[in-house]
């Protein structure tokens, strides 16, 4: 069989289901298992949250609590372009809120959501380590520095293809 870099969602689901099964009855493996799901699927779907809770023997409320506590985990699939707006102190005092408000309006979504066409997801982060360039946001790995909310439409256009 020829190898392909692209694996279909069914294969990836099977892979995580097997992984979860290895940790049956081991509540201490919760983060390890959630990490695997996030890395493999890009988010932690509701049906797998239930499977993790039942298989590991952890209350579903705890599974949900861990996913929502750590920014690394996501409850929804991320967009092709993930926009991370920094609201750390330096960015906040230099107008990160205005940048975020403009993004929310332009994309029609709130942080934690993804646009219906799957192109953009939006999230808030706290300090990207580039405070001297604040306010800052990233789109995937690209850094956009010294932002002004007026530049948002033009920046989004760069990623709209």
Q: With respect to ligand FES, which residue has the nearer C-beta, 37 or 86?
A: 86
- Residues found near ligand FES in the complex (CB under 6 A): 86, 88-91, 127-131, 134, 136
Sheet hosting strand 142-144, strand order edge to edge: 120-125, 81-86, 137-139, 142-144
Residue 11: strand, helix, or coil:
helix
Q: With respect to ligand FES, which residue has the nearer C-beta, 12 or 98?
A: 98
Q: 32 and 52 in contact (C-beta within 8 Å)?
A: no
- Smallest gap, in angstroms, from Cβ of residue 116 to ligand FES? 29
- Smallest gap, in angstroms, from Cβ of residue 128 to ligand FES? 4
- Smallest gap, in angstroms, from Cβ of residue 145 to ligand FES? 9
Q: 152 and 103 in contact (C-beta within 8 Å)?
A: yes
Q: With respect to ligand FES, which residue has the nearer C-beta, 36 or 144?
A: 144
Q: 19 and 36 in contact (C-beta within 8 Å)?
A: yes
CA distance 36 to 118: 22
- Smallest gap, in angstroms, from Cβ of residue 118 to ligand FES? 27
Q: With respect to ligand FES, which residue has the nearer C-beta, 36 or 94?
A: 94
């Amino acid at each position: 069989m020829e190898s392909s870099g692209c694996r279909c969602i069914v294969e990836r689901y099977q892979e995580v289901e097997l992984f979860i099964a290895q940790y049956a009855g081991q509540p201490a493996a919760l983060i390890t298992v959630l990490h695997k799901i996030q890395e493999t699927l890009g988010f932690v779907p509701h049906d797998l949250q239930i499977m993790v809770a039942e298989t590991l023997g952890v209350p579903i409320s705890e599974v949900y609590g861990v996913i929502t506590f750590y920014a690394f985990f996501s409850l929804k699939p991320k967009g092709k372009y993930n926009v991370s707006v920094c609201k750390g102190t330096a960015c906040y005092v230099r107008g990160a809120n205005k940048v975020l408000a403009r993004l929310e309006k332009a994309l029609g979504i709130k942080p934690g959501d993804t646009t219906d066409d799957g192109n953009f997801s939006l999230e808030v982060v706290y300090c990207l380590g580039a405070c001297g360039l604040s306010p800052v946001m990233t789109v995937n790995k690209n850094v956009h520095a010294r932002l002004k909310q007026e530049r948002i439409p033009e920046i989004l256009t760069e990623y709209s293809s």
